[in-house]
Structure 1
Amino acid sequence: MFPIRDHNPSERTPYVTYGLIAVNLMVFLMMLPLYGNEAASGRVFIQYGLIPLRLMNGDGCETILTSMFLHGGFMHFAGNMLFLWIFGDNLEDILGHVRFAIFYLVSGLGAALLQVAADVSSVVPMVGASGAIAGVMGGYLLLFPRARVDVLFIIVVIFKVVPFPAWLMLLLWFGLQVVNGALNWSQMGGGVAYWAHAGGFIAGFLFVLPVWKGLGGQAFWTRTDGHPDHPDARYKFAKSSIPAIRRRK
């Protein structure tokens, strides 16, 4: 299951969201020739990825930033950009362009710090934008808990799109990160950086908390009904132009 869209287009152009997607795309395209060569791609990940032990030794502070724009492959990149595309524009609408850019970086920092704290001796490079994007999801949860998000379920050969309220989808996602992080604590040598996801989510939520209070807190939810403060988008699927054929008995 993964979200494919929300029903809440932003009222102004989300330049920072578009810019972040563009920068991630450029880095991904630069890395593309290296993905088939583990040694070459590994050297890039070691140099620019975030390695907890190196950071604890006071080296590689710049990798907190550079690691946020590297990805391990196409699905890693595409999934992260899809989440940023869905949730980033509405948050940028509320925060404004400059504050949203700062928010994104702070979320990435929170993701890095919790992942490092989870295993300070790890020498495995952490790469990916998912920690910062988890912060976007945490902020979205606080501001728009009742926004509608369409989630695609894939069960073997069954494909079904189900609308979820944002609070349910996002809390379920966050809960899975915490549970998986706890279950995999003894296997911190590699795999998914669950604690980075949790750290980014918490950092994004806390960053937006004073913004939400400034907008009126629960009064903001009452006024907007937990949605972005404009009409929902309505998606219509065009009917096929191919005529129906009835089978003769």
Structure 2
Amino acid sequence: MVIPVHDINPVRRTPWVTYALIIANVLVFLSTPGMPGSLAGGESLAQLCHLEAFMDRFAAVPTELVHGRIPQLVPTGQVGVGPHGPGCVVAPRGFHKSAPLSVFTAMFVHGSWLHLLGNMLFLLIFGNNVEDRMGHIRFFVFYVVCGYAAGYGFALLNAGSSDPLIGASGAIAGVLGAYIVLWPRARVWVLVPFLVFLPLRLPAWLVLGFWFALQAVYSSGQGVSDAGTVAYVAHVIGFLVGLFIALPLKPGTPPPPKPPGLLFGRRARPHYQTW
């Protein structure tokens, strides 16, 4: 898996929405109770009970999205002692939960620092250009639409699952799909792990196309051992939705600048004429 670090594709205006999304995601993670690495984190039973209650309230659950069955007995976040020892207290739900709204809130919840930082890195590198092309408001609507498409698409394919679905990956996959349509030849600096991390400058169609191919393979359960814990199919759906939404914007999109100097990690041959 290559790690993008920078694209050679300047923007004309400050990507305020991209920055705001990154800040919001980081703040939500830092305030997530019971999440290791967050300011409210920890591994005590009390923290784990708080985490269960938090996920029940803000994560998207496929069975709730597809069938509309919102459970009435939910974790309260409190610790109690039962016949089998200490555990999390379950009681009737004391608040109303909207399944459609949970898809939106789930876009800001992440399961680890690695999950969060990986998503925010891709959003920072590729989101600024897509926002620049679409404009602030349209980009935010586009981001949310891709997130909803990925969330509901995953739910329809896993209608019997009650596992919480969290993360901004589906929405960010839509951003990647838009980027590969609008700037397929933009150069992207990446780190390729091969004994050490090798810096290379590759075209966006290769970097993002390879990423999409991996998600498609992993979504089938091939080549990865944790396919059940990562919603790869949501990535595939989000990417395709973002790609098709961006197609009408392709005409009139200014091409990225031609990068001088290094090409694919090597010095490009200078152009000259003989006489």
Q: Aligned partners of 2:157 and 2:199: how far apart in 1?
A: 35
Q: Contact 1:9 / 1:232 at 8 angstroms: preserved in 2?
A: no
How far does residue 43 in structure 1 lie from its aligned partner after superposition? 2.5
Uncovered stretches (5+) of structure 1, i.e. residues with no partner: 236-249
Match of 2:67 among 30, 37, 57: 57
Compared with structure 1, are the counterparts of its residues 61 and 144 closer, same or farther at alpha carbon in structure 2 (3 Å cutoff)? same
Letter in 1 for 2:67: N
Letter in 2 for 1:49: A
Flag the structure with larger Rg. Answer: 2
Matches within 5 A, 1:187-226: 190-213=228-251, 215=252, 224=254
Letter in 1 for 2:249: V
Q: Aligned partners of 1:234 and 1:10: how far apart in 2?
A: 21
Residue 172 of structure 1 aligns with which residue? 210
More helix by share: 1
Compared with structure 1, are the counterparts of its residues 194 and 54 closer, same or farther at alpha carbon in structure 2 (3 Å cutoff)? same
How far does residue 132 in structure 1 lie from its aligned partner after superposition? 0.4
How far does residue 232 in structure 1 lie from its aligned partner after superposition? 5.4
How far does residue 234 in structure 1 lie from its aligned partner after superposition? 8.7
TM superposition score normalised by structure 2: 0.75
Residue 201 of structure 2 aligns with which residue? 163
Residue 20 of structure 1 aligns with which residue? 21
1:163-192 deviation line (CA, Å, top 9, x unaligned): 1100011111111111111126xx999411
Letter in 1 for 2:49: A
Q: Would you say 1:29 and 2:30 are equivalent positions?
A: yes
Q: Aligned partners of 2:219 and 2:258: how far apart in 1?
A: 38
Residue 48 of structure 1 aligns with which residue? 58
Q: Aligned partners of 1:231 and 1:96: how far apart in 2?
A: 24
Uncovered stretches (5+) of structure 2, i.e. residues with no partner: 33-37, 71-98, 263-275
Q: Aligned partners of 2:67 and 2:226: how far apart in 1?
A: 19
How far does residue 9 in structure 1 lie from its aligned partner after superposition? 2.5
The more displaced of 62-71 and 174-183 is 174-183
Residue 181 of structure 1 aligns with which residue? 219
Match of 2:191 among 137, 142, 152: 152
TM superposition score normalised by structure 1: 0.82
**CA RMSD of the aligned region, Å?**
2.2
Q: Which has the bigger relative contact order, CA under 8 A and spacing at least 6? A: 1
Aligned length: 221
1:97-116 deviation line (CA, Å, top 9, x unaligned): 11101110011011112211
